[in-house]
Amino acid sequence: MNGIIFDIKKFAIHDGPGIRTTVFFKGCSLDCWWCHNPEGRKLETETVSVKPGGDASDSRIPARTEVIGRDVSVASVMEEILKDVIFYDQSGGGVTFSGGEPMMQPEFLIELLQLCKENSLNTAVDTSGYASWDDFEKIYNLIDLFLYDLKLMDDESHIKYTGVSNELILENLARLSSMGSKVEPRIPLIPGITDTEENLEAIAEFLTPRKNIRQVVLLPYNRLGEDKSRKFDLTYKAGQLSVQSGDELENKVEIFRSHGYGVRIGG
């Protein structure tokens, strides 16, 4: 079994507990205005034109081409993962499958998860939640932690800013939670889009009945997606946004604390 990935990051510390290896799958059905991994969106390897200075629009810099993504076997990915078992054991870490959207390649993901479990490795999946329940049902008992993105509660806004409805995403989260899966909601704070008081209050209220979800992760805005889009000459639909100040972040944390949640900032 082969799949397409665009990176394997060693010694990751923001993608779940402990020291982890994060495998980035290619392919995502969403089209978020602020996408932080634009090179992970297409479910195929792609050749892009990049400029070493990071600005594709700067005509003074000569462009070079770069291939993003590689076709890899389950065995070769496992070989990489197993090299760092000692660090997972010492730190309470493990393996995280991220992307793009790992659920876009369900069979490849299942084989990797099964082998991780055969090797007693802790597993996490970083997902947008936009996948069929049939696929979640096949994998949920192989996953120790879902890092589950929640973006916008208002469906019209969700469609506008991500290209898809949030209905399936919210339904899948509710089902996973009711089946006892450990779910950590991760909320990207996009200035004026997802970080409004109204949206964060609505997320807190949606989570309230899910009694096994007591912690959320807030992801402050950063310019990574903007910089990468410039590098790869892609349109960054969110435009130029300002990073939140410490006080602004504290107000957003308080919204969740007032509903009884533990809050972590960053991954």
37 binds ligand SF4 (CB under 6 A): yes
Residue 9 binding ligand SF4, by CB under 6 A:
no
- Using rule CB under 6 A, residue 28 touches ligand SF4: yes
- Which residues partner with 263 through β-bridges? 216
Q: Is 129 left (phi over 0), alpha (psi -120 to 50) or beta?
A: left
Q: Are the CB atoms for 100 and 37 separated by under 8 Å?
A: yes
Strand boundaries in the chain, DSSP class E? 2-12, 20-25, 46-50, 64-68, 70-73, 94-98, 122-127, 145-149, 183-188, 215-219, 262-265
For residue 90, the minimal CB distance to ligand SF4 (Å) is 30
Instruction: Give yes or no for a contact between 9 and 25, defined as CB atoms under 8 angstroms apart.
Output: no
Where do we find the tokens 């994998």?
A: 139
Q: How far is the CB of 97 from ligand SF4 (least distance, A)?
A: 13
Draw the binding track, 88-127, toward ligand SF4 (x: CB under 6 A; -: no contact).
Answer: -----------xxx--------------------------
Binding mask 120-149 for ligand SF4 (x = CB under 6 A): --------x---------------------
Residue closer to ligand SF4 by CB (options 37, 123) is 37
* Contacting residues toward ligand SF4, per CB under 6 A: 28, 30-32, 35-37, 40-41, 99-101, 128
